[in-house]
Structure 1
C-alpha cells in the first residue's frame, strides 16, 4: 500500500547498464515528474550530477586512489560507483563490475557469493551480484537523503522496475537487494508496463483518438542485458480505451550487451593472430570501448569509422597498445542483420545452437531478436486470438524502449519486420527518451495507484502450477491462473496435504507464460514449455496444534501487492492458523516430480526396522548382511529406484540412526544405504534439510575403527552427498583427509599404516569431489596428487581425482570455485607427458580439465586444448571425450556417471551451463 505520510513518489529503473530515478510530489493528480539528478564521481575526486547512474563499479588497487579521489563513494564501499567507474575501467583491466542485473537472474550461481568482477585476479576485491545491485540503490538513497534530509528516501512511495520475464527467484532477489540498501516498503513493476504508463501519462488528454483503431500493442524493451516483450490488448467499448496485458515473454538474456560482445569478438579477431583469444580482463576492457563506439556509429550523425584501442600491459603499457578501426557500415550490418534480420513469422529461434557463455553469463543461444519476437507472438497465439476474436496475432502498434532504439536504423528495421508480418506498417507510439521512460513510468504508475486510476489490467503475467504425484507423465495442478488480480486469494480446495509438524516441507512449482487459459485446480501435463521455480519451503511448528504430529492443510495463493506470489498453508480445522511458504533463493539444479511408491515399500520399511529398530537387538547377523539384497527383492533393482523412493527410504534410515552401531555389519550396511539414498545430496525437495540432519553424524566418526570396509563406506557416504555440503563442511572433511593425502605428512609416524587401513582410495575419491573448497586448498590438493602419481604404485583412479579437481565445468558448485586456468594449464602440461595408451585414466583427467565451457575465464587456451585433442586421438580415446573439448557439450547419462563416479538416481537430470 502507498505510504500516506510520503511526500514523494519515486520510480527506480535498476537497469543492467544504467540506474535512473524519477520522482514527483504526492497528493497531486497532475504532478510534474522530474528525473533525479544523481551526484556521483565522474572522475577521481571530481563530482557532478547526471541523469543516469551507470550500474557499474570499479574496484581500485591498494593505494591506486587517494581518500580525496574516493571522497564521494558511498560509505562502506571499497569501490567507485557510476561514471568514474567507466572512466577508470578504460585505463585498468580486471577491476570492473558490470551487468549485475544479469548475474542476479543467472540460474546456476550463488547470488550471494563474492564473484564479481568475474575473471579478475585473486588480489582484486570482489562482491556478490546481490550486494552489487544493492550498492547502486544504496548510492541513490544516500545522495537523496543528503539533498532531502527532511524527506528520507526510505520513507517515500518507491517503485522499482524489473523485467516482465523475471521469475519469482529474480524478483525476490531484487526485493532482497532493496532490503540490503535500507528500503523495506517498495513495489515492483514490470518494465514494459512502466514504459506504457509513461506513454499513457504523456497522452492522457487524448487517449481515445491516439489509440483509435489499435487493438494489439507490442512493447519491445531491448535493454543492455535483456529483451523484454509484452502484449497489451486495447478495448474501445467504454468512454476511454481499456488496456490489459495478455502476455509476457520468457526470460531472454539478450540485449545491447550482445551487440557489444559481437563487435568485441570482431575486434579481437583483428587484434590477435593464430586465433588466439584475449584474456577475460582484456575482453572486458575491449567490450566497454565497443559499447561507446557502437552508440556513436549507430547514431544519426555517425562518422565513417572509429578506433578501438587495446592497451598494453605492464611495461608494455604504451608500446603494447594496439588499435583497429570499426566502420559504420559493418557495425550497422552486425546490429541489423545479426540481431534484427528480416526473418519470417515462422522463423523461430534455433534450439539446437550451443548457448553463448561469456564472462560467465549464459546468453541466449539465438542472437536474432526478430526470431524471439516471432516465437513470443506464436507462444501467445491462443490468448491473442481469443482476445481479438480470432484476428491476426501480429500487433498493429509498437512501443519501443531501450538504448538500442536510439538508433534510427534499428527502429526502422523493427517497424519493417512487423510490417512484413502483417502486410501493413504498425503504428509507432512515440518514445522520445528510451533511457528515462521506465523511471518516468514507475512514478506515473505510483501516482495512478494513489488516485486509484490504474490503467493497465492483466493481473498475474503467468500461470503457476504445483507439481503433483503421478505414476506416468509429469503433471501439475494450477494454483494461480494467468490474469489473476492482486489481492484475490485462491484456495486450492480440491487438494489437501497431510503434513508432519516440526519438520520443513517443500513444494515444487513451475510457471507458464503462454498457452491456453487455465482455471485454479486444472490438472495439466508438464512439458519443456514450463519453467521451474526455486522450491518453496515452510517449517510447521507444533504450537497451538493440539500436540498432534500431523496437520491437514490446503494451499492459499495470492498475487501480492509487491507483485510476487504469496503462498500460505491453511489448516483445515482452523482457517485462522496459517504458515507462510517462502521461496528458497538458493539455486535449484533440478526439478523433480514425486512418483507413487512401489507396492513393496511397506515390506521394505519392515525389513529396515527389523534390522535397526528398537526391538531388533537379537537379529540374525546374516540378515544384516543381506539387507540390501532383501530390499531389492521388495523394490526391484537398486539402480532403478526412483528419487522419490530413495528419499523415502532415507527418512526411514535416518529414524534408525541411533541403532546403526549395534555391530560392524549394522554400521557398514547403514552407511552404505543412507548415502546411496541421498546421492548426490541436492536436486530433490528438502535435500538441504536432509543433508543438515545427516551431517550431524560426521563429528561422531565411525564406531568400528578397525574395520577397513566400514571406513570405505564412511568416505563413500560423504562423497555421494558432497553436492549438498557447504564450504565449511567440505573444508572440515578436507582437513581430516589432508595428512593422508599430503605426500610429506603421509610418510610420518603410523600415517601410512592408517591410510591403508582407513581406505586411502576412497579418501582420494572423496577429496576430489569437494568442489566448494577454496581455490587455494584445491590447488594444494591437485599438486599433492600429481606428486603421488609420479610413483608407479599410485592407483590409476587418482587420475580421475585430478581431473575432477581441475574440471572446467563443476558438477554441483558455483562456477567461481573452478581452479584458475593457469593452474589447470600447468597440470595439463604434466599430464600430457604421460602415455595415455597405457594409462587412459590420465587422458580422461586431461579431458575434464580441458573441457570447453564457453567461458574464457575458465577455459584453457586453444593451443593447449589442441594438443590435448591431438593426444586423445592418438591414444584412441572415446569420441565423446574429444567432443567435450571441441564444443560446449551437454553430457548424457553415461558421461555423467563417469564423472560423478556412479549413476545418478533415475529421473534426476542436472541443469548446468
Structure 2
C-alpha cells in the first residue's frame, strides 16, 4: 500500500533526552536530533504543588508521599496517578509530596536514589518510608525510583504525543561511584517505568559535557592552560569526584580523558540537612533529651527548606523554623527557632570543608547505623575525602582546573572554601570553570551526550553544519571503564584469595575482551555464580592473575543465573571462555562463550536481588579442585574419616578428629578465615560420607558449622551456603540420637547470618515445632539441647520482626517456670536487639514492640542475672538511628540500673552513646567467636 505512514512503534527517534534522576530533584533536558547542542531545553514537568494547584516546573522533587486512604481526596489522580498508587494507598509525587512530607515525615519517601545504592538492605523490598508505622503503605527503593521515571515519561508523552519517550534516545545519569548493582537497579527502574532502552552516563561527565556545550566554539582557547580538570559534584545524596586529563590536539579541540573516579561516597545535601537539624535540636527538645524520631525527621525537612532559602541568591539573614505539635495540640505545642544564614554557612563550610592536608584520610566508619537509616560515612569532611582521592589518583600532579556542580554550590562560601583547599595543596590558585546552572547541568549534559553519540553514528545528515558544530562543541570524553573488574578465584590456604582481571581500567566502551588463555567448566541446567570485585586503583592486563590484597577492592553483586541445558538433558557440562565488555549502555557485561560452538554464548545478569546460586564455575580441571592449595595434613585427616576408603575407622578416632586437626593447625579459635573455608570445602566435598555412623554425622556437623561460621564474610560464601542448604531437606541420618540433633541446631545457628529470609523461616518453623514438643513432653534429649534450639531461634534475624516478637512473648511466659534456663534472657535480648549482627536493619523490632521485653528485664535483679543485664543492653543500645533507638527516658532507666548494678563500663557506654561492640561482647551476642579479622554489621 503506497502513501502509508509509519506506525508510532516504527518511528525513529527524534530527540536526545537527558534525565538526571537525582536524590533531591529529577530534571529532564532535550534537544532535537537534527539540531545543535545549543538548542538544548528543559522539560517543564507538571506536578501538584497543592491540593488545588498544578504547575509545570523544571525541577521535580524526587519525593513521594504515601498518603492515608482518603487523605488527598481525588487530587492525587492529577496530573496522572503515580505508579503503584491506589485508592487503598494513594500517593503523590513532586512538590506537593515534599510539602506534605515536611509536616508528616513518616509518610515521605525521600532519598530513594541513596537507598538504591545501599547494599545493606534489600533494595527491592518495600522498606520506604524508612521507619514508618504499620499503617503506612511502603514501597521499595526500586519502585520509588521507577515511579519518578514513570512521572517523567507521562509528562514527556503528554507534551510530545507524536514522539513518545520510550522511542527517543534517552540518557539516564548515575553517580560515577555507583557500583554495578546500583547501575543494574537503575536500568531496572527505567524498564519498570516503560523505558527499556536507555543509556547510563556518569553525572560528573554529564556536568562537564554541559560546560563544553556552553563554550560555543571557544573550547580550545578556554582549556588552553588546563591539563587536569577536577569535577566535584555534590548532590543531595552523593559526592562524586572525577579527574579529566586535557591534552592539546593540533588542528582540533583538545583530547579529553577521564582518568579516575572516586569511591561511592554517600555524602551530600542530605547530610547537611541532618547537621543543621542537630544544631537546632536543643531548642526544640527538653533539656538533655533528643527529639523522637518522627519529630526529628520533621525538623530535618524544615531545615532542608530553610537551608535552600538561606543559600539562595538574595537570601535573608535568617528564617524561622517551626515544628508543629501533634493531633489536637497541633498549634498549642508548636515551637519555633531562628536559623541564620551565618549559622548555615558555618555549619556547612566548617563542618564539610574543614582544614585538611593532602594525604589526610577520613575517619573510619563505626559499626552503627547513621542518620535516617542510610550508611552515611562517619567523617562528613568532604575535604578529607578529596585529599585522599587526589593522593591516590592524581599521581603527584594536582588539578589546575575545577568544575563545581550540584545545588550546594549555590553557596558561594562553600565553593570558595573548596577552591581555597585545592590552592593550598597545589601551592597556587586553581581555575574555576563557570557553571551557571548547577541544578540542571547534569540533565543538559546528558542530552548533549546523547546528541553527540547520535551524530557520530549518523555521519550523513541533512544538517551537516549542526553535526560539525556538535563535534566541535562537545568532544568525546574518553577513558573507558573507570575501574578494573576481577573474577574471584580460590586462594591458597592462609593467603589472600586470588582474582583474574576480566576488564582492565580504561577499557573503552564497546570493546570486548576474551580471556582466550583460560577455560572454565560451566554447568548448564544448574545455577551458576561469578563472584566479582572492582578496583579504581592500579593498572592490570586482561587475564592477569593477582592476589586480592591491599585497599580499594569493592565487592560487586554476583553475576548469577540458571543457564538452560540442552533439550532432553537435565544437566550438561561445557567448556567456556569468558568475554567482558563495558557496554555502550554503561554497565559491565560478562558472557560465557562455548569453546566448541562459537555461535553459542550466554549473557550473565547481575544478581541485584540477593539471589543465591547453587554452583559456581571453576577455572581448574576437575581433578585439581579438592587438593589445590589446601593444608595437606589436615585434608588427609579429614579424608581418613570422610573419604572413600573402605577400612573401618574406630569410633574414638572419629570423635577425636577435631583434636587431631588442632594438633596439626593449632587451636581452632586461631584458624584464619581462608583456612576455615578451605576446611569447609574439604568437608563439603565429602558430605556424602557424613552418615556412616552417628559419630561421623556429629563430627561432620560440628566441624562444618565451625568452618563456615557465621555464613558470610568470605568470597563464595553464598555459594557454600547454597550447597549446605541442599543438605537441610535431607535432614539427619541418625535422628534417633539427641546429640546429633544438638549438633544439627548448632550448625544452622552458626551459619544463620548467611541464610536468606525464606531459609530462615523454614528453620524457624522446624525448630519452633521441636521446641514445643520438647517442653510439652518434657523429653529434652529427644530433639537435642533445648538451650541450643533457643539460641538458634534467636539467631533468625532475617525474618519479619513480628515472628520474633511472638516467640519472645512465648519465652517470657516460659520464664515464669523455675526450671527455665537463664539463657532464655540472652535469647530475648537477641530477638529485640537494636543492632542486627548481620541481617537487614529494616527487620529490627521497633522500639514500641521491644518495650514489653525491656520492662520484663528491668524487673530482674541484674546483680544475680547477668544474662538479663546484657539483654537489656542489647535492647537499649544506642545506634544513632532514631527510628530504632529507644527514647531517652527509657535509656535513662537502663543506664541508672546498669550503674546501680555495677555493670561493666563498656556496657554502660553502649547505652549512653554510639559504640562498637567489643570482641568479647560480640562473641557473647553471636554465641560463638568470629573468625579472626572478620567483622559483622554492628
Whether the 8 Å CA contact 2:493–2:678 is kept in 1: the answer is no
Q: Deviations over 1:657-706 (max 9, x none)?
A: 66655654454444434444443333344444444454455455545554
1:798 pairs with 2:824: yes
Map 1:744-763 onto structure 2 (within 5 A). Answer: 750-753=776-779, 758-763=784-789
Residues 607 and 627 of structure 1 are in contact (CA less than 8 Å); yes or no, is this contact kept in structure 2?
A: no
Q: Distance in 2 between matches of 1:31 and 1:61?
A: 45
Q: Which residue of 1 aligns with 2:166?
A: 154
CA–CA separation in structure 1 for the residues paired with 2:562 and 2:379: 42
Offset of residue 263 of structure 1: 0.9
Corresponding residue number in structure 2 for 1:769 = 795
Alignment correspondent of 2:503: 480
Verify: 1:257 aligned to 2:266, yes or no.
no
Which of 121, 126, 139 does residue 114 from structure 1 map onto? 126
**What is aligned with 1:733?**
763
Spell out, residue by residue over 1:545-582, the C-alpha distance to the aligned partner (whole angstroms, 9 max, x if none): 99997655443322111222222344555555544343
Match 1:32 to one of 33, 39, 47: 39
Distance change in 2, residues 1:493/1:124 (3 Å): same
Match of 1:7 among 4, 14, 21: 14
Matches within 5 A, 1:459-608: 459-468=480-489, 469-470=491-492, 473-474=495-496, 475-493=498-516, 495-498=518-521, 503-515=526-538, 521=544, 523=546, 526-537=549-560, 543=566, 552-571=575-594, 576-586=599-609, 596-600=629-633, 602-604=635-637, 606-608=639-641
Structure 2 unpaired stretches of 5+: 1-9, 457-470, 613-617, 619-624
| Whole-angstrom distance in 2 between the partners of 1:657 and 1:349 | 46
Q: Which residue of 1 aligns with 2:444?
A: 440
In the alignment, the residues of structure 1 paired with residue 140 and residue 37 of structure 2 have an alpha-carbon distance, to the nearest angstrom, of 40
Output the CA distance in 2 between the equivalents of 1:885 and 1:202: 55
Q: Is 1:90–1:288's contact at 8 Å kept on the other side of the alignment?
A: yes
**Aligned residues of 1:535 and 1:685 also touching (Cα < 8 A):** no
The one of 885, 892, 913 aligned to 2:911: 885
Distance 1:892 1:760, change over 3 A: same
1:713 has 2:743 as partner: yes
- 2:248 is matched with 236
Residues 741, 784 of structure 1: 8 Å contact kept: no
Asked whether 1:403 is paired with 2:435, we answer no
Q: For residue 478 of structure 2, what is the aligned residue in structure 1? A: 457
Aligned 8 A contact 2:368 2:915 in 1: no
Retained in 2: the 8 A contact 1:379–1:515? no
Would the alpha carbon gap of residues 760 and 844 (structure 1) be closer, same or farther in structure 2, given more than 3 Å must change? same
The 3 A distance-change label for structure 1 pair 709 and 203 is same
**What is the rounded CA distance, in whole Å, between the counterparts of 1:701 and 1:504 in structure 2?**
23
TM-score w.r.t. the length of structure 1 is 0.90
1:457 positional shift: 1.1
**Cα distance change, pair 820–575 in 1 and its aligned pair in 2 (3 A):** same
Deviations along 1:282-336, one digit per CA (max 9) or x if unpaired, are 1221111111111221233221211101110122112111111112221221122
Q: Work out the CA distance in 1 between the residues paired with 2:660 and 2:597.
A: 44
Q: CA 1:174 to 1:32, structure 2 compared with 1: closer, same or farther past 3 Å?
A: same
2:590 and 2:604 in contact (8 A); partners too: yes
Query: How far does the alpha carbon of each residue in 1:199-229 deviate from its partner, in whole angstroms, 9 at most, with x for none?
Result: 1112131111222212221111111111111
1:295 is matched with: 308
CA distance in 2, matches of 1:831, 1:756: 31
User: Per-residue deviation at 1:450?
Assistant: 1.0
Aligned partner of 1:225 in structure 2 is 237
The Cα of 1:124 is off from its aligned counterpart by 0.8
Q: Please show how residues 326-405 of structure 1 align to structure 2 within 5 Å.
A: 326-351=339-364, 357-382=370-395, 385=396, 392-393=397-398, 395-405=399-409
- Size of the alignment, in residue pairs? 892
Give CA deviations for 1:251-283 in whole Å, capped at 9, x if unaligned: 111111111111111111111122211222212
Q: Does 1:324 align with 2:337?
A: yes
Offset from partner CA, 1:361-396 (integer Å, 9 cap, x none): 1212222222222222222132xx5xxxxxx41x22
CA distance in 1, matches of 2:54, 2:717: 50
Could you tell me how far 1:161 is from its partner in structure 2? 0.3
Please, which of 426, 429, 433 is the counterpart of residue 429 of structure 1? 433
Paired residues of 2:20 and 2:442 also in contact (CA < 8 A): yes
Contact 2:241 2:261 in 1 (8 A): yes
1:507: Cα distance to partner?
Answer: 3.8
Counterpart of 2:876 in structure 1 is: 850
Q: In the TM superposition, what are the counterparts of 1:58-97 in structure 2 within 5 Å? A: 58-71=65-78, 72-77=80-85, 78=89, 79-97=91-109
Q: CA deviation at 1:761?
A: 1.7
Could you tell me how far 1:16 is from its partner in structure 2?
Answer: 0.2
Find the aligned partners of 1:746 and 1:524 in 2 and give their Cα distance: 50
What is the aligned counterpart of 2:924 among 898, 909, 913? 898
Relative to 1, partners in 2 of residues 1:730 and 1:757: Cα closer, same or farther, differing over 3 Å? closer
Residue of 13, 21, 26 corresponding to 1:19: 26
Deviations 1:454-495 (A, max 9, x none): 521111112333444245553544432222111222334555
SS in structure 1 opposite 2:605?
strand
Distance 2:856 2:779 in 1: 29
**CA–CA distance in structure 1, aligned partners of residues 480 and 689 of structure 2:** 54
SS in 2 for 1:205: coil
Q: How far apart, CA to CA, are the structure 1 residues paired with 2:852 and 2:293? A: 19
Structure 1 SS opposite 2:388: helix
Q: Offset at 1:76?
A: 3.3
Matched residue of 2:31: which SS? Answer: strand
Change (3 A) 1:519 1:550: closer
Q: Which residue of 2 aligns with 1:389?
A: none
In 2, Cα distance between equivalents of 1:107 and 1:728: 19
> Could you state the TM-score of these two structures normalised by the residue count of structure 2?
0.88
1:912 aligned partner: 937
Q: Does the 8 Å CA contact 2:257/2:479 hold for their aligned counterparts?
A: yes
Aligned to 1:683: 713
Q: Does the 8 Å contact 2:76/2:92 carry over to 1?
A: no
